[in-house]
Amino acid sequence: MHGGQRTEDEPMAEMNFIPLIDIALTLVIILMVTTAFIKLPGVSLKLPETKTREGTPETKKDVTLVIAADGTIYLDAQKKTLPEIQEHLLQVAGRDRQTRVLVKGDRAAVYGRGMEVMDMIRQAGLTKIVLPTEPKLPNATSAGQPEPGPNLAANERK
């Protein structure tokens, strides 16, 4: 065997690591598969796409308002009512009128709901409002939407 004489009555002093490695690799694979299904909490949101983007990246000092497709409004990732949002905006404006407000609206959200939120922000006295969007990829159009251009204008005149 390995370098020395061994009788059948002597216990085996070597440890077999193969089963240990098999179990460890199986656990790693299970961990990798299950983490792929973990969904982070938050609002499912599809921002409109534009070729140009507005503003600088989001910071912790910013107030973020999200308008979901169903019209629900979230203030800093927490579902709130209109009076609660108005009160929070007034408190923020009282501390610092230069606070930036990000209004993220789902592309399927109702326009009127967005205007309600914008009006509340202006009533609170906050003037730095940013409407974030997703970058539009080159040669990509929204599903079913005609690309703007001369043909669209000609079709609208008919």
pTM for this model (two decimals): 0.58
Name the nearest CA neighbour of 137 among 127, 147, 128.
147
Domains along the chain with CATH numbers: 49-135 (3.30.420.270)
Helix-helix angle 111-124:82-95, to 10 degrees: 40
- pLDDT level of residue 37 (50, 70, 90 thresholds): low
Q: 110 vs 49, which has greater pLDDT?
A: 110
> How far is it, in rounded angstroms, from Cα 144 to Cα 118?
29
Residue of 78 and 37 predicted with greater confidence: 78
Indicate the pLDDT class of residue 26, thresholds 50, 70 and 90: very high
Q: What is the chain's mean pLDDT, rounded?
A: 78
Q: What is the pLDDT of residue 61?
A: 85
Q: Please name which of 99, 100, 111 lies closest in space to residue 67, comparing C-alpha atoms.
A: 111
